[in-house]
Amino acid sequence: MLEQPKMLSHVLTGCVFFPGTFYLLVAGVGKLWPWLNKLDLLLLCNKAVSSLQAIISCVVGAFVVVNCYKDILHDRHWLTEAYTCFGVSYFYYDIWSMYLTECARCPELTDNGWLPLKLYLRRKGLMVFHHLTLPVIFFPIIMFFRRGLGDFFVGTLFFIELSTPFVALRAVLLQFHMEDSLVYAINGICAVMAFFLCRIALFPLLYAMYGDKYGLSTLQVPFAIPVKCNVGCAVILIFQLYWFAQMIRVLRSYSPKQNGKHPPPLEKEL
């Protein structure tokens, strides 16, 4: 486990990095493309930071997996806990960033420029719950309760973010009214594939790898590992199955020309 001063330094670095990057992008993109309205600018920068976080997460995950695959239970890599500390602040930053975007989206509902919390939660309640719940559950598990075991599995979970850039691009394309473009259709298919592979199929794959390592069938693994591991995977998977169903619903309803009517923006839910 990281020493407490290092943990704190990584957490503080994340607290500066994510909002700092967002506000730097807002300032820079605003000057580069001054014709963007406030909503376009904030949404674009929010999705850019989300995509950047996802890329970093996947790169870190790749380093951890490559360095820990020989012994998937006992091998260690310092990036596992370092990135957990660094990345935890992203969830709280994103709640604020999404709030600013929603204030710009619904100016007629704001009070002196601020959207009432009740209305914000009505629009983004599930995502806020997701962002509040995951760090509270998984940060202590990764940092304190797993006793240094399973860096390989934590590294593979970092790949969950692989679908985020595709979902972010979809939100941007919707905002700029590009629903009828080929890019939108291709991106939607890529988003569904990446989401399924890295957020749903990943879990049975991890159970199968653990079983293969210790001579168990995949169905025996849930009964051979700590309950907290099964609960943690179940919590993550419930969110992913819900959002995957929403993605499939939107993809099935998509048609390049719908007489001016388009499916509801998935970014309200993802």
pLDDT of residue 265: 47
Residues 172-224: pLDDT tens digits? Answer: 999 999 988 999 989 989 999 999 999 999 999 999 999 998 899 999 999 99
Residues 77-122: pLDDT tens digits? Answer: 999 999 999 999 999 999 999 999 999 999 999 998 899 999 999 9
pLDDT of residue 256: 58
Calculate what percentage of the chain has a pLDDT beyond 90. 71
Chain length of the chain: 270
Residues 136-163: pLDDT tens digits? Answer: 988 998 998 888 899 999 999 999 999 9
Long-range CB contacts for residues 240-245, cutoff 8 Å, separation at least 24: 240/160, 240/195, 240/199, 240/200, 241/200, 242/126, 243/195, 243/199, 243/269, 243/270, 244/192, 244/195, 244/196, 244/199, 244/200
Q: Please tell me whether residue 259 adopts helix, strand or coil conformation.
A: coil
pLDDT band at 228 (very low <50, low <70, confident <90, very high): confident
